[in-house]
Amino acid sequence: MSKSLTLNKIALRNITRRYARSLFLGGLVALLAFVLTGGSLLVSSLRSGTESMAARLGADALIVPAGYERSAEGALLRGEPSSFYLEPDLAERLSQVEGIAQVSPQLFIASMNSEHCDAIVQFIGFDPDTDFVVKPWLSQLLSGGLPKGQIVIGSRIDGKPGQELNFFGRKYTVAAKLEETGMGFDTSVFTDLETSRIALADYISFGGENAPPDADGVASVLTVNIRQGYDSNQFSRNVNYGFRKEGVGVVFPKTMISNVSGNLASLIGVTVALMVLLWVLAAGVLTVLFSVTVNERKREFGVYRALGAPQRYLSRLILTESLAVSAAGAVIGTALITLVYFLFSDLIGLSIDAPYLRPAGGVTALVITGGFALSLVIGPLAAAYSAGKIGRIATYAIMREGE
């Protein structure tokens, strides 16, 4: 006895019995799903990274030693460790520049690639009394503030709260670990200014590169909030002209963010345009392929007509077959890129010279679902033209042989 064959079972049989054709069509959809979902994940990770960066670089301006503007950007954006310093009295005088509403020093120390340090990081010391940049988001982790002598580590640093890490030959207890930020903070260590000056003294004693003669009163960066309504260009001129002999530079994080955003907008635009183009091309190729396939099978469909299948049945059969092939391809392509994305997300982030942060779970799920859906619908959409005219073609094919 033979089991009843429903339309779905017949469609499945047609797919499996013509496996070479089905594999090719499914493979094409899988490739599309891989690229579409992958591209969308990349775009959303870049957007997420930029948003994270904007949320954490809360100062209007950074005053750094002349020539170290790029180093400051590199340290903040990409976690490139660097050490640079403003003389103690210079930092003091700079804090008096006209236009400043808030100012707070930060000390940057590049860890050493030796047995004296457990990891290669950017050591950042901030002043808990005056800081307005680090404390707002650090307080979400440590409601009671950062205890003296302890550190907060970035997400990519090996270690966990309570553990001791060695920097410049001294043990520091990890008070907390940051969530991923997609920027240089992921490989940074935060501590209070006083503790960081102890670390700097150790750094000097080990003969660290570009070290100042003395750790007392030293800062690398002055984070500045400009007085409301005060022209930022005028502030920049105040700093540059007032301290031209000493040599200082001004970095505007908002400009930095907007430069990064601008570059990313172009990259995202090109990526999205390529994805749209790919989708349209794939839809075109699949439309032609389905059309050719249906044309090759018109005699087969004609037999269904002769047996009493209405035109609607044939359209449904074609759409069901195309949906099943699309679904298989979309599942494989989406699953594969999801696996790659989660397994190699850190590697991808490191290889991209831009803020890169895996978005929240819900957003990631939405992006993956969107990529899957766009790949899933392409089969039935591409087959719709053939499905629409199959009744006429099939009838003609079955009659033709007899004429």
Partner 1 sequence: MLNVQNLTKRYKRGDSSFAALDDVSLTLGGGEFAVISGHSGSGKSTLLNIIAGLLPADSGVVELDGKVITGLADNEISRIRNGQIGFIPQGHSVLANLTVLENICLPRWLYGNADGGGDYALSLLDGMGAANLAHQYPAQLSGGELRRVSVARALLGKPKLIIADEPTSDLDAGNAAAVMGLFAAAAKGGAAVLVVAHSEAGLDGVDCRRLQMSGGSLV
By the criterion CB under 8 A, which residues form the site for partner 1?
1-2, 4-6, 10, 13-14, 17-18, 299-300, 302-313, 391, 395, 398-399, 401-403
Alpha-carbon 396 to chain mean position? 54
Q: Is the CB of 17 or the CB of 245 nearer to partner 1?
A: 17
Q: For the CB of residue 328, give the shortest distance to partner 1 in the complex, in Å.
A: 18
Return d(Cα 350, Cα 356) in angstroms, integer: 8
The H or E element that residue 192 is part of is: strand 188-192
Closer to partner 1 at the Cβ: 214 or 300? 300
Looking at beta carbons only, is 22 or 45 nearer to partner 1?
22
Least Cβ distance, residue 305 to partner 1 (angstroms): 7
Supply the minimum distance, in Å, between the C-beta of residue 323 and partner 1. Answer: 18
CB of 403 to partner 1, least distance (A): 6
Nearer to partner 1, 213 or 402 (CB): 402
Phi, psi at 54, each rounded to 5°: -60, -35
Bridge partners for 30 per DSSP? none
Q: Closest CB to partner 1 among 22 and 104?
A: 22
CB of 40 vs partner 1, minimal distance in Å: 37
Q: How far is the CB of 381 from partner 1 (least distance, A)?
A: 24
Longest CA–CA span in the chain (Å) reads 103
The angle, 0 to 180 degrees and rounded to 10, between the axes of the packed helices 361-400 and 311-351 is 150
Identity of the residue, 117 or 323, whose beta carbon is nearer to partner 1 in the bound complex: 323
- Distance of closest approach, residue 37 Cβ to partner 1, in angstroms: 32
Closest among 294, 299, 315 to 388, alpha carbons compared: 315
310-315 CB contacts, 8 Å cutoff, 24+ apart = 310/391, 311/390, 311/391, 311/392, 311/394, 312/391, 313/7, 314/387, 314/390, 314/391, 314/394, 315/387, 315/388, 315/390, 315/391
Q: Which amino acid is at 143?
A: S
- 11 or 257: whose CB is closer to partner 1? 11
Q: Are strands 150-153 and 188-192 parallel, antiparallel or unpaired?
A: antiparallel
Which C-beta is closer to partner 1: that of 160 or that of 400?
A: 400
**Helix, strand, or coil here: 271?**
helix
How near is the Cβ of 307 to partner 1 at its closest, in Å?
Answer: 5
Bridge partners (DSSP) of residue 127 are: none
Give the Cα separation of 41 and 126 in Å (integer): 34
Number of neighbouring beta carbons within 10 Å of residue 283: 16
Mention every residue, 6+ apart, whose C-beta is less than 8 A from residue 395: 302, 305
Least separation in angstroms between CB 394 and partner 1: 9
Of 320, 311, 382, the closest CA to residue 14 belongs to 320
User: Sign (positive/negative) of CA torsion 36, 39, 43, 46?
Assistant: positive
Rounded to whole angstroms, how far apart are CA atoms 327 and 319? 12
Of 276 and 306, CB closest to partner 1 = 306
